[in-house]
Amino acid sequence: MQNRGIELKNLTVGYDITRPLIKGLSLFMDEGEFWVVVGPNGAGKSTLLKTILGIVPPLEGEIYIHGVDCTDTGYCEEKHFLSYVPQMESYSKIFPATALDIVISGLFPRKRRFEPVKESDKKLALHWLRMLELDHLAEKPFSKLSGGQQRKILIARALISNPHYLFLDEPTTGVDIKSSRKILDIIATLNREKNFGIFMVTHDLNFVWPYIEKVIIVGNGKFIAGSKEEIMNEKILSEIYGVKIQIIQTPGGPVFLIGDKHY
C-alpha cells in the first residue's frame, strides 16, 4: 500500500450503475503532480473530482489517500489533506460576507461546533490574501468583487487549511483572459514552489497546455490517462470526444480545433 499520494482503483463514477459516466479508472497521483481532467460537457469531469473528494459516492472501486481507504463518503482523516475550489455557481452572489470572511471559512471543517473565530485565524487568512496579492480586498464584500478576484479568494480559502492537494473545478470559466492567466500562474506556482498536488477540471485544452503535466481525457463513455505528450493526439482526442479534432502546431504550442471551434 502506498504511504503517500492518491490512488484510484478500478473507480466507477456517476449516479446510476447502469449508466456510469466513467468506468474502471485506475491511477496514482503523487504529491506535487499536476493533473488536469478534460472532456466535453456532461462527460463526468466534475463528478470524478467530487467522487475523489468524498462529496459523491463511487459506484464501484476504491480511493486511497496516503494508503488509507477513504472510499466511503463518511469521515476519513486523510481527507484533510485535500482542499476544494468549487465552481462559482456554488456561491451565492448576495452572500453577505467579506473576502476575509470567505477565506476564514476554509478553517471551519476543522473547528469544533460553535468554536469562535480567533485572532490567529484572521492573521492566517490575511497571510494567504497577501500571498495572492489580495490583502487590499480583505474587507470588501465578496459579492462585489470581479470574477477573477472571487476565484483567487476561493483559492486562498482552500489554502488556509494547509492541504497537500488542491482540487479545482473550472477555475477560469467566465473569467477574462488576463485574470485566467493570473489564476493559472498562481496554481502553477503553488505546484512548482510549494509542491501542492493539483487536480483541475477544465474544458479549455489550449489555455491549460503550458501548465499541465498529466491528463485524464473523459468523454463518449471512455477515458484515457497519462502524460500530455503521450495522449494529447488527434486520434485519441477524436475517439474520446466523439468528433474530429485537429491539432495545429504553432511556436506557442499546439492549438486544438473541433471544426471551427477552439478547445
In the chain, the amino acid numbered 263 is Y
Domain spanning 5-231 has what CATH number? 3.40.50.300
pLDDT over 80 (residue 114): no
Q: What is the mean pLDDT of residues 102-111?
A: 84
The residue ranking higher by pLDDT, 259 or 67, is 67
What pLDDT digit, counting tens, does each position of 204-254 carry? 888 888 888 899 999 887 899 999 989 989 999 888 888 888 999 888 788
> 36: which residues sit within 8 A by CB, 6+ positions away?
198, 199, 200, 201, 202, 208, 212, 214, 215, 216
Q: What is the mean pLDDT of residues 48-74?
A: 94
pTM to 2 decimal places: 0.88
What pLDDT digit, counting tens, does each position of 181-196 carry? 889 999 999 999 989 9
> 98: which residues sit within 8 A by CB, 6+ positions away?
138, 139, 140, 141, 142
The per-residue pLDDT for 93 is 61
The per-residue pLDDT for 1 is 44
The per-residue pLDDT for 23 is 93
Where are the chain's structural domains? 5-231, 232-262
Burial class (CB in 10 A: 0-12, 13-18, 19+), 212: buried
The per-residue pLDDT for 220 is 80
H or E element in which residue 178 lies: helix 177-194
Q: What is the mean pLDDT of residues 92-111?
A: 82
The per-residue pLDDT for 263 is 46
The per-residue pLDDT for 51 is 96
